[in-house]
Amino acid sequence: MRELAELGIYYQNCVIERPIPSLDEIAEFQARQGVTLPADYLQFLRTVNGGAPTLNFFENDEAAFAIEAFHYLALENDPDDSYSIAVASEWPCEELGRKVIAIAGDGSGDQLIIDPSLGPEVRLWRHDDGSEPEILAPSFEALLAGLKPDPEEDE
């Protein structure tokens, strides 16, 4: 997996540094949500529990996405805290009619999700078009490996 220090994770405004979840907390979260999270994503949560990456842009031949922040895992959530995995996952779950895990957002409602019923791929859920989420990266590890600076921020 990519060295997470390379991502330049930082915390400001509403993006707050959260404690790393214990293995028991992760197990309880998965049981509550009825999902099993991919090992590469669990490794990330056990190292960096959310935050805004400096290297925040991912693109492939079909799509591009600029991450505002990775969501964090916690057992106790504020229903108004859109940076919580559980809270951020509610909207795409409702729209898609199945359990998905929102792992990162762009700040405008679009989410990167993992759909455990379909596999470990990271998918882009666009909140306003009603289509099925498209595969952005074949795994969370591949997503991290492909992150680079947002080209629009250089302008």
Query: What pLDDT does residue 141 have?
Result: 97
| 3-state SS string for 12-57 | CCCCCCCCCCCHHHHHHHHHHHCCCCCHHHHHHHCCCCCEECCCCE
Residue 36 pLDDT > 60, yes or no? yes
Query: What pLDDT does residue 155 have?
Result: 53
Closest CA to 11 of 51, 66, 47, 70: 51
Average pLDDT over residues 37-55: 95
State the Cα–Cα distance between residues 39 and 15, nearest whole angstrom: 24
pTM: 0.91
Q: What is the mean pLDDT of the chain?
A: 92
Query: What pLDDT does residue 115 have?
Result: 96
Average pLDDT over residues 141-150: 96
Average pLDDT over residues 118-123: 96
